[in-house]
């Protein structure tokens, strides 16, 4: 059973578990468990996706219950009037605050994006970051005599593919557990010494205007148990 954070006649907001696909994809053609199917069966009606979360990312995700509502919500996302917050654990001691303004060229999958335009220009991408806490352990990792990590809050102002993972890698503070843009040594360290083997990224809050009532809606979720145990290790200010 999925955790439903908000539901009415027009939309539903749920917590997506880590390592679950939102919908069927050519990239994971052998996967048989999909969030949309589970949710459809749980509430007894079809749901329309209006934004995405990567398979390894957990947290808040919004679905419309009709095509008209889906279009209205998609317009809010396109206008950047929907705000999102994420929490992540990253390598090293990150700055207290940072604005990451770094355009991203879309990375195409050779299977799923065969028909996509190959020569797109890099698109504007903007992320605000705030450090919430630090963790250091006197255990060597790679060339370093000790391990350092930061707990950060990330607020994307645009919605590019893998934006947060690529932006944090760009400033040399990759997200722990990121096998594409991250640090393999740090990921192994997290598995061996922190008992954490997933992507340390959770979509924790979503704020938007209800497309029918025009009332502001804020949905927040809790961390999954292993992520919560990891966060408890940090000296959070």
Segment 5-25 shows an average pLDDT of: 94
CA distance 158 to 154: 12
Q: What is the pLDDT of residue 22?
A: 94
Q: Mapping DSSP to helix (H, G, I), strand (E, B) and coil, where does residue 183 land?
A: coil
Owner of token pair 């740090």: 186
Instruction: Specify the pTM.
Output: 0.92
Distance CA 57, CA 114 (A): 24
- Tally Cβ neighbours within 10 Å of residue 26: 11
Model pLDDT, residue 26: 62
Q: How far apart are CA 73 and CA 51, in angstroms?
A: 9
Using the 8-state DSSP alphabet, how is residue 46 labeled?
-
Domains and CATH numbers, the chain: 4-236 (3.30.2350.10)
The token duo for 79 is: 């206008």
Mean pLDDT of all residues in 45-65: 96
Q: Is the pLDDT of residue 108 over 80?
A: no
Higher per-residue pLDDT: 27 or 48: 48
Lowest mean pLDDT among 113-122, 161-170, 213-222, 228-237: 113-122
Whether pLDDT at 196 is above 90? yes
Query: How far is Cα of residue 181 from the mean position of the Cα atoms in its chain?
Result: 14
Mean pLDDT of 81-97: 97
Using a 10 angstrom Cβ sphere, with 0-12 exposed, 13-18 middle and 19 or more buried, the burial of residue 138 is exposed
225 is catalytic: no
Mean per-residue pLDDT over the chain, rounded: 92
Higher pLDDT, 115 or 172: 172
Considering the candidates 10, 28, 54, 109, report the single residue annotated as catalytic. Answer: 54
Q: How far is CA 232 from CA 134, 176, 229, in A?
A: 11, 16, 5
What are the structure tokens assigned to 74, written together?
A: 């998609």
How would residue 112 be classed by pLDDT, with cut points 50, 70 and 90? very low
H helix or E strand, kind and range, residue 67: helix 67-78
Q: Choose the weakest-confidence range: 18-22, 118-122, 153-157.
A: 118-122
The residue-averaged pLDDT of 177-195 equals 95
């Amino acid at each position: 059973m999925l955790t439903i954070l908000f539901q009415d006649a027009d939309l539903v907001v749920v917590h997506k578990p880590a390592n679950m696909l939102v919908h069927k994809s050519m990239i994971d053609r052998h996967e048989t468990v999909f969030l949309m199917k589970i949710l459809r069966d749980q509430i007894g009606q079809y749901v329309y996706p209006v934004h995405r979360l990567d398979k390894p990312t957990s947290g808040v995700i919004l679905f419309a219950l009709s095509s008209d509502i889906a279009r209205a919500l998609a317009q809010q996302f396109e206008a950047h009037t929907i705000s999102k917050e994420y929490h992540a654990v990253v390598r090293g001691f990150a700055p207290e605050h940072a604005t990451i303004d770094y355009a991203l060229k879309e990375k195409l999958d050779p299977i799923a994006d065969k028909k996509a335009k190959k020569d797109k220009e890099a698109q504007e991408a903007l992320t605000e970051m705030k450090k919430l806490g630090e963790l250091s352990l006197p255990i060597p990792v790679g060339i370093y005599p000790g391990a350092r990590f930061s707990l950060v809050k990330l607020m994307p102002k645009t919605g590019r593919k893998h934006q947060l993972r690529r932006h944090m890698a760009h400033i040399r503070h990759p997200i722990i557990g990121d096998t594409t843009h991250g640090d393999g040594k740090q990921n192994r360290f997290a598995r061996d010494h922190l008992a954490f083997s997933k992507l340390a990224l959770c979509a924790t809050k979503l704020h938007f205007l209800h497309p029918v009532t025009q009332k502001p809606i804020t949905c927040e979720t809790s961390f999954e148990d292993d992520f919560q145990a990891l966060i408890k290790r940090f000296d959070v200010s």
